[in-house]
Structure 1
Amino acid sequence: MSTALTFLILISPLVVAGLLLARNAHRSHLPRFGEPDAPRIQHDLDAIRTRFEEQPFWPASGVRGERR
């Protein structure tokens, strides 16, 4: 019970700040988060998806092969 109460106490300021930001953005008719960037984000996701379709492994860091 104390863990849940601690979590609620720690997360409540973030929830209140998010609600206030959303309310102010709605009242002032500001653009919502992410809407202007939606086409760019979709393009980036498509690029990542096609890269992993062609080469489905994440590139490894470090030295590969023979060292001289």
Structure 2
Amino acid sequence: MICARCDKPILPGQGTTLALDSPSAGGADVTVHAELCNMPGHQTAPDLTGSQLFAEQLRAAADRVSRYAP
């Protein structure tokens, strides 16, 4: 079996099955490691668009220049 949390194999005796309830559909049973495993990182926000990247670069350049330089 494959762990639903970390996507790594589960050896016999290492897994536990959890029932997930869903308000809009039937529930599902997932198998995870009995000991808490590390969940891989995942993106939670979209990447910046070209104009947003350009604005960030302009702000960074403005921050590097001192207003009080002679």
**Smaller-chain TM-score bracket:** 0.3 to 0.5
Q: Which has the higher helix share?
A: 1
Q: TM-score, normalised by structure 1?
A: 0.32
Instruction: Report which structure shows greater RCO (CA 8 Å, sep ≥6).
Output: 2
User: Which is higher, the Rg of structure 1 or of structure 2?
Assistant: 2
Q: TM-score, normalised by structure 2?
A: 0.32
Q: Which has the higher strand share?
A: 2
